Structure 1
């Protein structure tokens, strides 16, 4: 299959992003918005930019992790699954389509200043310009980018001249009243002009065609948003400071009005020309982004395959471009697009809410493939602000936009059941989410997908594509272990049987075919060699395999089931809480696997000579001591059993606890001792004690705050504060 060409530079991406915002938001809306709030219009634009900033930061992160065409649709589909992905893709496509059609019809107000055109003919002229946009998009995005740079440059120069001559003439008298409808009027205006900034994130839909997207994409979004905020706020201030509010409130071509006021008729006509080409630029940018949504959906088998075809010469999705432009032409000719565009913008707000939620879901689940080069700052507060501010904006938009959301939801639902109901992919939230988060999702189906390496496909001697069913311990290697050999050693120390199963698991995004990843890999070859050398030196019976999967938790779960193992041993970074809404794969496994579970946090300690077992009283001490004894025997190490009790604990209780622990230790052959320490801060006590040991063994802690319970963001504080390597054990009731 041919791939989209990465041909867009940073300058072109910024131009396309600005072109998506420079349009009706500044050439048409200011007058209508001023009627709602008065001279505080500039403040409404500023607050709207602040509200959309979280979505820009979140989409920058998501786009660098998934730099493919489709943008918001791709992120929502990967996080929430194909069901919501279908609805999002169709909704975003129609939303951008209607908004672009509205821009083409809207330029009629400026065109009528220059040419005497009958109102009923304006729509046909708009369709002619749409044909030009269609031609540019089919010829290739590089040409689109060059045209965009030219148009955006002219528009910015024109607006800069308005600011240069308009700011000195601003009248303080015209800036009163600041609020015409109170603060509620201001907030409703913020919701009204919010859509003016929506184009800042459009470029994420063409991430697959951007050079060096990990760097250029976030830079383009942030820079274009900053530039447009300055333009919107400054121009709005000049408009309300130079044009009486009564006149501005009914003006749908305010840029022409202010230009004529400042420079006369000729300057006004020049501004009208700039308005015409700028609105065309907005429509052009909209076609470029909108056509990528059905293209990405067709690639994911959620729409017919023919919609995923790429032109053999121009390398553009010609079918979806033509479909988008044809539907835009029908909207222009037969529908009242202004009202539809306003209602569709509400769905854009809803998408930005989901975009912020996507970042939370993907970060909290710690999906192995989710490694964005750019990460949004101040996580998760930025995302939470974006979610709650978006909800508030939807409320201020009123009942009509809410009905539009419902309508697009139903349309997406129908399309999903026509084309995507048999999709085998599952979203990250569906995989790791808990019952409250899954309430709106359809019933979960068991569909584990694993692709094993076989010796017909690789030369590695241990890769036969079969798992050892008699393995006592399974050690999944995910690629982020500090020392895979050390993790295998820990598994061998715990093991009560002879064989150990080691599986290198590679998780790839859902859009990647597993068969394409099942090929000889130098890193896997190196890993197999290292594990084999360890097995030989330690006289261990180790079977090594490699697997590629879309669902890492399901795969690991299936590994433990197929081998009927006693223990699952994994590397760990100290984070394993499972929240009410989402959990990471470790947290999911803790509640789903049937074997005992050991998490090893490697602190770089290579030789284990002293082991500290720290348990809260009553935590099945006998079972934990048995495991610690096996580890000490493997490493020829000593064992210290530590109990930390509150300061108020009486000495009789302490002596009884110490005697009971010594009785348990009599059954082990390892040199051992018992310490019972009074301290109201067990985390600090165990942290200090761990400095004298090589390995700290702990049980599974209890969740300790509502943030951890809700989002699963907490870390194991005992592990985080430890001064040595940590092994955390979760043992099932026998």
Structure 2
């Protein structure tokens, strides 16, 4: 398959991003916005830019992780599953549809200046040109898009001249009142102008064509947002400083009005012509982008198949183009301009809330394939700010847009109910979410797929039969282990049977075909060689396999089931918790697998001579000691059983604890001892003690606070503070 050429430079991407923002947000919206807040409208544009910054940073991260996946719809579907993918697809479709309709309303107003149209007919003229746009999109006229850079350049030049001549003429009298309707009016205006910046993230959809997307994509988004913020704020200030508020508040062609004031009729007509060209270009590109969302959803089996129909001659999605233009015509004819702007902003705010949530879900679940070259700074605070500020903006937009969003959710549920059974993907949240997140009508779990090196795709319910059914321990290798050999060695130390099953598991996004990833590669060949050499040198019976999967947790779960193993042993980075809403794969496995579970955090120790077992008293000590004894026998190491008790613990209780512990250690074959330490800070006590040992063995800790419980972001503090390698054991009741 021919791949897209990465030919777009940073400058080109900035131009495209600016082109996505330059249009109705400045040519139509400022007057209507000024009516809501007064001369502080420029502040509203500034705050709106700050509120949209988290979405730009989040989308930069998502786009560099999936540089050719196609934008917001796929990100939301991948994180939340096909249900939210359906809702997101409709939301994105409608946000662009309303924004383009808004541009055409403004286009009609500017056109009426040039050809003297009755103001009452401007809507019908807009619809007439919409029909022209319809045919341009069906015919696939590419030359229209090639003049976009020229149009952007002309528009920026015109706005620059307005600032050059308008700012010096600003009147302080016209700047009063600053807050026409108080702070509430200002914040509602922020929500109203939010749509002006929506185009900043459009370039994510062409990430596959950008040179060095990991660097250039986030830079382009941030720089274009910065440039457009300056333009919006400065032009809005020039408008309210030169035009009386009574005139401006009902003016949907303010760039013409101020141009005529500053330069006379000829300059005014020139500005009107630029407005016509800019807005018709914006509407055309909006139809082009909007029509692709229902088309993509139909391809993903979330909408009827006929909506995925492509014109046999022009190779364009003719059905969705016609649907998009028809709905735009209805919006233009039957909604007033302010309602169109509000609905466009509301749908885009909803989408950007989900974009910020996507980053949280993908990071917290630690999906193996999610490795973005660019990571949003100040995570998760930036994303949380974006989510909560977005919710606040939706409230300020009023009841109408909120009801419209509710309607989109209901429609998405209905469409998903009828067509979701045909969806071919599941989301990350579907896999790793807990009950509050899962009560979202997600589908019942279907068989995931795993592909082995022999190119045979098989159901997870029936693996290829090459796995060792008598393996005592299964070791999944995920590619992030510090030393795979050390992990296999730890597994051998725990093992009570003869054989160990090692499986290198590679998780890829659902958009990637498994068959394309199963070819032998040098890294897996090298890993197999190293594991085989370890098995020979240590006289360990090891079977090695390599697999590719879409669902890593399902695969590991099924590996333990198919082998009927006693233990599942995995490498670990110290993340401990499974939140109420999301969990990482480790957290999901802890609650789903049937075998005992060991997590090994490798601190680089290569010779284990002293083992420290730290347990809370009475926590199935006998079983933990048995495992520790096997490890000590394997490494010829000594064992120390540590109990940390409160400073208030009396002497008699300590003596009883010591006596009971020594009885438990009687069957230990290696040298062993009991240490009981008084300390009200057990984390600090164990951390200090671990400095004298090579391996610390712990049980599964309890959760610490509400942040950990909600998001599962907590570290295992005992592990984090340990000065040696850590083995954390989760043992099932027998």
TM range (shorter): over 0.9
Distance in 1 between residues matched to 2:343 and 2:464, nearest whole Å: 58
Match of 1:234 in 2: 234
Residues 469 and 106 of structure 1, relative CA distance in 2, 3 Å threshold: same
Match of 1:97 in 2: 97
Match of 1:134 in 2: 137
User: Tell me, what secondary structure is at the counterpart of 1:489?
Assistant: helix
Match of 2:493 in 1: 493
Match of 2:429 in 1: 429
Residues 11 and 281 of structure 1, relative CA distance in 2, 3 Å threshold: farther
Match of 1:468 in 2: 468
Distance in 2 between residues matched to 1:537 and 1:195, nearest whole Å: 65
Distance in 1 between residues matched to 2:41 and 2:73, nearest whole Å: 32
The answer to whether 1:373 aligns with 2:376 is: no
Distance in 1 between residues matched to 2:694 and 2:388, nearest whole Å: 46
Distance in 1 between residues matched to 2:69 and 2:3, nearest whole Å: 10
The worse-fitting range, judged by mean Cα deviation, of 16-25 and 209-218 is 209-218
User: Tell me, what secondary structure is at the counterpart of 1:666?
Assistant: helix
Match of 2:696 in 1: 696
Residues 509 and 455 of structure 1, relative CA distance in 2, 3 Å threshold: closer
Q: How does 1:688-727 map to 2 (within 5 A)?
A: 688-727=688-727
Question: 1:283, CA displacement in angstroms?
Answer: 1.9
Distance in 1 between residues matched to 2:305 and 2:524, nearest whole Å: 35
Match of 1:553 in 2: 553
Distance in 1 between residues matched to 2:535 and 2:500, nearest whole Å: 10
Matched-pair contact (CA < 8 Å) for 2:69–2:511: no
Match of 2:360 in 1: 360
Distance in 1 between residues matched to 2:221 and 2:310, nearest whole Å: 27
User: Tell me, what secondary structure is at the counterpart of 1:675?
Assistant: strand
Distance in 2 between residues matched to 1:70 and 1:311, nearest whole Å: 21
Match of 1:23 in 2: 23
Residues 105-142 of structure 1 show CA distances to partners (whole Å, capped at 9, x for unaligned) of 321211221222352662355236525863896538xx
Match of 1:460 in 2: none
Distance in 1 between residues matched to 2:7 and 2:316, nearest whole Å: 15
Match of 1:281 in 2: 281
Residues 280-337 of structure 1 show CA distances to partners (whole Å, capped at 9, x for unaligned) of 23224423432442343344333466766889999x8655784476446744786547
Match of 2:302 in 1: 302
Scaled by the length of structure 2, the TM-score of the pair is 0.93
The answer to whether 1:572 aligns with 2:572 is: yes
Match of 2:412 in 1: 412
Distance in 2 between residues matched to 1:465 and 1:312, nearest whole Å: 46
The answer to whether 1:440 aligns with 2:443 is: no
The worse-fitting range, judged by mean Cα deviation, of 434-443 and 301-310 is 301-310
Distance in 1 between residues matched to 2:710 and 2:515, nearest whole Å: 37
Distance in 2 between residues matched to 1:250 and 1:450, nearest whole Å: 61
Question: 1:343, CA displacement in angstroms?
Answer: 2.0
The answer to whether 1:123 aligns with 2:117 is: no
User: Tell me, what secondary structure is at the counterpart of 2:173?
Assistant: helix
The answer to whether 1:81 aligns with 2:81 is: yes
Distance in 2 between residues matched to 1:216 and 1:290, nearest whole Å: 25
Residues 112 and 537 of structure 1, relative CA distance in 2, 3 Å threshold: same
Matched-pair contact (CA < 8 Å) for 2:139–2:316: no
Matched-pair contact (CA < 8 Å) for 1:609–1:637: yes
Distance in 1 between residues matched to 2:503 and 2:646, nearest whole Å: 43
Matched-pair contact (CA < 8 Å) for 1:69–1:292: no
Matched-pair contact (CA < 8 Å) for 1:451–1:547: yes
Matched-pair contact (CA < 8 Å) for 1:642–1:674: yes
The worse-fitting range, judged by mean Cα deviation, of 436-445 and 369-378 is 436-445
Residues 586 and 438 of structure 1, relative CA distance in 2, 3 Å threshold: same
Scaled by the length of structure 1, the TM-score of the pair is 0.93
Match of 2:523 in 1: 523
The answer to whether 1:675 aligns with 2:675 is: yes
Match of 2:608 in 1: 608
Gaps of 5+ in 1: 458-462
Match of 1:179 in 2: 179
Residues 93 and 230 of structure 1, relative CA distance in 2, 3 Å threshold: same
Residues 596-632 of structure 1 show CA distances to partners (whole Å, capped at 9, x for unaligned) of 1000001111111111111121122111111111111
Matched-pair contact (CA < 8 Å) for 2:137–2:316: no
Matched-pair contact (CA < 8 Å) for 1:454–1:465: no
Question: 1:684, CA displacement in angstroms?
Answer: 1.4
Residues 308 and 532 of structure 1, relative CA distance in 2, 3 Å threshold: farther
Matched-pair contact (CA < 8 Å) for 1:202–1:289: no
Distance in 1 between residues matched to 2:397 and 2:372, nearest whole Å: 34
The worse-fitting range, judged by mean Cα deviation, of 560-569 and 298-307 is 298-307
Residues 73-104 of structure 1 show CA distances to partners (whole Å, capped at 9, x for unaligned) of 11110111111101211221132123213312
Residues 456-493 of structure 1 show CA distances to partners (whole Å, capped at 9, x for unaligned) of 99xxxxx9851111110000000110111110000000
Distance in 1 between residues matched to 2:319 and 2:79, nearest whole Å: 24
User: Tell me, what secondary structure is at the counterpart of 2:476?
Assistant: strand
Question: 1:214, CA displacement in angstroms?
Answer: 2.1
The worse-fitting range, judged by mean Cα deviation, of 511-520 and 54-63 is 511-520
Match of 1:55 in 2: 55
Matched-pair contact (CA < 8 Å) for 1:306–1:319: no
Residues 228 and 311 of structure 1, relative CA distance in 2, 3 Å threshold: farther
Residues 405-446 of structure 1 show CA distances to partners (whole Å, capped at 9, x for unaligned) of 233334434443444322242211111111111122335324
User: Tell me, what secondary structure is at the counterpart of 2:519?
Assistant: coil
Matched-pair contact (CA < 8 Å) for 1:61–1:372: yes
Distance in 2 between residues matched to 1:453 and 1:182, nearest whole Å: 66
Matched-pair contact (CA < 8 Å) for 1:475–1:488: yes
Matched-pair contact (CA < 8 Å) for 1:331–1:337: no
Question: 1:48, CA displacement in angstroms?
Answer: 1.1
Question: 1:12, CA displacement in angstroms?
Answer: 2.8
Match of 1:266 in 2: 266
The answer to whether 1:686 aligns with 2:686 is: yes
Distance in 2 between residues matched to 1:190 and 1:404, nearest whole Å: 19
Match of 1:223 in 2: 223
Gaps of 5+ in 2: 458-462
Matched-pair contact (CA < 8 Å) for 1:294–1:303: yes
Residues 308 and 248 of structure 1, relative CA distance in 2, 3 Å threshold: same
Distance in 1 between residues matched to 2:548 and 2:54, nearest whole Å: 34
Distance in 2 between residues matched to 1:464 and 1:74, nearest whole Å: 31
Distance in 2 between residues matched to 1:81 and 1:692, nearest whole Å: 48
Residues 216-259 of structure 1 show CA distances to partners (whole Å, capped at 9, x for unaligned) of 22122111111111111111111111111111112111111111
The answer to whether 1:626 aligns with 2:629 is: no
Match of 1:590 in 2: 590
Match of 1:66 in 2: 66
User: Tell me, what secondary structure is at the counterpart of 1:509?
Assistant: coil
Residues 206 and 674 of structure 1, relative CA distance in 2, 3 Å threshold: same
Matched-pair contact (CA < 8 Å) for 2:102–2:332: no
The worse-fitting range, judged by mean Cα deviation, of 226-235 and 120-129 is 120-129
Distance in 1 between residues matched to 2:90 and 2:5, nearest whole Å: 24
Distance in 2 between residues matched to 1:252 and 1:604, nearest whole Å: 66
Distance in 2 between residues matched to 1:663 and 1:521, nearest whole Å: 52
